Amino acid sequence: MNNVLAIYPGSFDPVTNGHLDLIERGARIFDRLIVGILRNFEKDPLFTLDERVEMLREVTRPWPNVEIDVFSGLLVDYAQLRGAHVILRGIRAISDYEYELQMAMMNRKLEPNVETVFMMPAEAYSYVSSRLVREIALLGRHVTGLVPPTVEQRLRAKVL
């Protein structure tokens, strides 16, 4: 199959080095990778949609085949709209597996032509999540090495 377009969906509140590691791996394997930020993200986000787009654009600049976009509604509908047949998701540990399996199976039920592909981030990021990063930063500790420097600066600005 040539010219494979994949979508890497998520909330990215904020993007972490774990996400970035997966984007790098995805950009190497797929011809084009769309990072799709979910618009109607139910939890109260720390970063606005515009801020999340801006941060992702900044940190993915080294990969010309990576595009940042925003979507709402069902992921499989968005995949169809963009003409993508692959959804990329990261699995850090067994604890991610159940939720990811359920989503992949439901997405397959909804749209059998869309395949979910799982990749593992580098071991160093196996415990990194946006939720923990937000909590640590908001409670006053540095998150150096867990997020890109621009994200760290913006987190610090939110705390001040």
List of residues 6+ apart from 79 with CB closer than 8 A:
7, 85, 87, 111, 114
- Kindly report whether the peptide bond that precedes residue 14 is cis, defined as omega within 30 degrees of 0: yes
Among 11, 65, 80, 150, binds ligand PNS (CB under 6 A): 11
Number of residues that bind ligand PNS (CB under 6 A): 9
- Binding to ligand PNS by residue 53, rule CB under 6 A? no
Name the DSSP class of 83.
Answer: T
Q: Which is nearer to ligand PNS, 3 or 132 (CB)?
A: 132
Q: CA dihedral in degrees (57, 59, 63, 67; nearest 10)?
A: -30
126 is catalytic: no
**Any contact of residue 75 with ligand PNS (CB under 6 A)?**
yes
Site string for ligand PNS, 83-122 (x = CB under 6 A): --------------------x--xx---------------
Measured distance CA(32)–CA(26) in Å, rounded: 9
CB of 134 to ligand PNS, least distance (A): 13
Q: Coil, strand, or helix at residue 95?
A: helix
- Among the listed residues 8, 10, 121, 133, the single contact to ligand PNS using CB under 6 A: 10
From 25, 130, 134, 154, the catalytic residue: 130
Report phi then psi at 151, rounded to 5.
-70, -40
Query: Using CB under 6 A as the criterion, which residues of the chain lie in contact with ligand PNS when the complex forms?
Result: 9-11, 38, 74-75, 103, 106-107
